[in-house]
Amino acid sequence: MYATPASLVALGNCNTATANALAAALRKTVAITPYELRLLATPKAVPELRHHLRDHDFDVRLCATELLTNVINHVGEGTPVTVKVISKPGHRHTRIEVTDPDTRTLPILLSAPAAKDSESGRGMALLDALTDRWGVDQAPDRKTVWCELRS
């Protein structure tokens, strides 16, 4: 990752002020640690995921929990999922991936908006509006629904 200010000073590479400035600059260029969580898709997992992503911005948390909620609602409660959030230095996007074992149930962006009194049908429209792009990667035994947001 990067050296801490104390380690830079201890090695005799620079003084404390320079070490602190260098460490701050390096933190800006280093990605947030890639996050991966394996869990069961349950309503209780949604706030847990939001808590684990507290170091990410609101849109990342919202998109990740929306993708998890889609698994709960459309694949089934208790489905094993893997959630990944990846930010890379030098890239302008944060990628969110939610993988589940159901290859048949795919997300759909509805052509018409959900009715005002409807309790569902807005998730993919919200995701589509917030993200730069989204899609589905399929394998024989799983699918990954992903989206990318500008960092």
pTM of the model: 0.74
**Given this model, what pLDDT does residue 1 score?**
40
The residues, ordered by sequence, that sit 6+ positions from 91 with a Cβ below 8 Å of its Cβ are 151
- Taking only the tens place, the pLDDT of each residue in 59-87 is 999 999 999 999 999 999 999 999 999 98
Would you state the pLDDT for residue 13?
Answer: 62
Superfamily designation of domain 35-150: Histidine kinase-like ATPase, C-terminal domain (3.30.565.10)
- Worst-scoring range by mean pLDDT, 18-32, 110-124, 129-143? 18-32
pLDDT band of residue 29 (cuts 50, 70, 90) is very low
pLDDT in tens, 101-129: 999 999 888 766 666 666 666 788 889 99
86 token code pair: 């990846």
3-state secondary structure (DSSP) of residue 54: coil
Side-by-side strand order, sheet with 35-41: 35-41, 79-87, 93-100, 142-150, 133-139
Q: Residue 91's pLDDT is what? A: 74
93, 81, 85, 90: which is closest to 133 by C-alpha?
A: 93
On the question of pLDDT at 56 being above 70, the answer is yes
Domain ranges of the chain: 1-30, 35-150
- Cα–Cα distance measured from residue 48 to residue 3, given in angstroms and rounded to the nearest whole number: 31
